[in-house]
Structure 1
Amino acid sequence: MTADTRQLKTWLAATARKDGDAFRQLYDATSSKLFGFALRILVKRELAEEVIQESFVSIWNNAASYQAGLAAPMTWMTTIVRNKAFDTLRRLDGAVEIDADNFDKEVMDALESVDPTPIEALQISDESKALARCFAKLESLHRQAIALAFYHDLSHSEVAEQLALPIGTVKTWVRRGLEKLRLCLTKLEGV
């Protein structure tokens, strides 16, 4: 069963109000896709099952913090699963190397690849398209640091820990990346 983005948003909103039936529908609609994503990271089925269980507990507890303007529901839930999976790998192996070039691709592959409806297509603003174009032009490590800080709501120190880098490096990458985004968007506005 594949649910459209609007339905997932509705179920997440109801889950935020602790609606068990909506949470069950959200789980039924997304768990197999999220499990597949966790399994690709962890390889072992039992670890992926554990991560999915922890992830849905987190989704239940944090549904009220979901912000539709920042990410699609599947993106938000995939991020939770990804972070739990990497936490598991770190716990098992002591360290995880994140391949920044494949980071975006893995997340995107895990998401549903349905074309937007005409109404959804109209809702995609020129500004968001411009931001996406400028974001894609950033160096992959800068893009990853900004994504972790802003899309995943991590502090600079959490980003530094996630990427196994000094906090000063992360702050520099985020600052430079945001400046490059500002300059790129300013150029596009002038066109």
Structure 2
Amino acid sequence: MPGAHVTRDEIENLIARAALGERAAFGDLYAHTSAKLFGICLRVLNDGAEAEEALQEAFVKIWRNADRYRANGLSPMTWLITVARNTAIDRARKRREAQPGLDAAEAMADAAPGPEAQAIASSEAARLDGCLAELDGSHAEAVRRAYLEGETYAELATHFDVPLNTMRTWLRRSLLKLKECLTR
């Protein structure tokens, strides 16, 4: 039933069944998660029509890659959110590249809380904030800018005045520390 709360195990089961090509399971997965994922796409793109297109594109990716979910170690919603967010960020980047006249302020993502921020359980948000606070300040800022604002590794390396490989190392190590913290 759309809108009803589903458990992590139920979502994992739907993803696993979708990986086997079960269209009904994929339909249920869409019904249970599309509203939240749409909110994430809308937050990134700030345009309803583009967010709908990004959502559809994200679900095509989810259908095609459902068999890869288990290998990544993420919770099912984190994986779905990551696919949707990355799809929306890719669309936003393509839009920026297609409109070179935008100044930096117009091209930046809005930092105000959006629909997805309201949908995330406050306890999980507080845990994540606590774990981010355990990181070095510049590393935490780099993680936020990369994964919440969609900045590229190259943009971050320039901003923090470090080599590109150093930025990759910062982000990789920071994500490992976050994962460790969130599993405590």
Q: How far 1:54 sits from its partner (Å)?
A: 0.5
RMSD: 4.1
The alignment status of 1:57 with 2:60, answered yes or no, reads yes
Rounded to whole Å, the distance in 2 between the matches of 1:83 and 1:57 is 13
Q: Specify the alignment match of 1:142 in structure 2.
A: 139
Find the residue that maps to 2:38 and give its secondary structure: helix
User: In structure 2, what residue type is equivalent to 1:57?
Assistant: V
Give 3-state SS (helix, strand or coil) of 1:66's partner: helix
Identity of aligned residues (%): 36
Listed one character per residue, the Cα deviations across residues 58-113 of structure 1 (whole Å, up to 9, x for unaligned) are 101111111387322111111111111111111111386568xx69x779726542
Give the equivalent residue in structure 1 for 2:19: 16
Change (3 A) 1:15 1:141: farther
Which consecutive residues of structure 2, in runs of 5 or more, have no partner in the other structure? 98-103
Contact 1:78 1:110 in 2 (8 A): no
Calculate the TM-score normalised by the size of structure 1.
0.63
Q: Which residue matches 2:92?
A: 89
Q: Do the aligned residues in 2 keep the contact of 1:52 with 1:81 (CA within 8 Å)? A: yes
Taking the aligned partners of 1:113 and 1:162, their CA distance within structure 2 comes to 31
| Residue 173 of structure 1 pairs with residue 184 of structure 2 | no
| TM value normalised by structure 2 | 0.65
Residue type at the aligned position of 1:34:
L
1:82 aligns to what SS in structure 2? helix
Is 2:153 the counterpart of 1:160? yes
Give matches, 1:26-41, under 5 Å: 26-41=29-44
Unaligned runs of 5+ in 1: 117-128, 152-157, 186-191
1:113 aligns with 2:121: yes
Contact map agreement 1:16 1:64 (CA 8 A) in 2: yes
2:83 aligns with 80
Report if the CA contact (8 A) 2:43-2:114 is conserved. no
CA distance in 2, matches of 1:25, 1:178: 31
Q: Rate the CA distance shift 1:163–1:23 in 2: closer, same or farther, 3 A.
A: farther
Are the equivalent residues in 1 in contact too, given 2:51–2:88 (CA < 8 A)?
Answer: yes
- Work out whether residues 36 and 116 of structure 2, in 8 Å CA contact, stay in contact via their aligned partners in 1: no
Distance apart, 1:115 and its partner CA? 7.7
Aligned mates of 1:25, 1:138 — CA distance in 2: 38
Measured against aligned partners, the alpha-carbon deviations of 1:106-125 in whole angstroms (never above 9, x if no partner) come to: 79726542989xxxxxxxxx
Length, aligned pairs only: 159
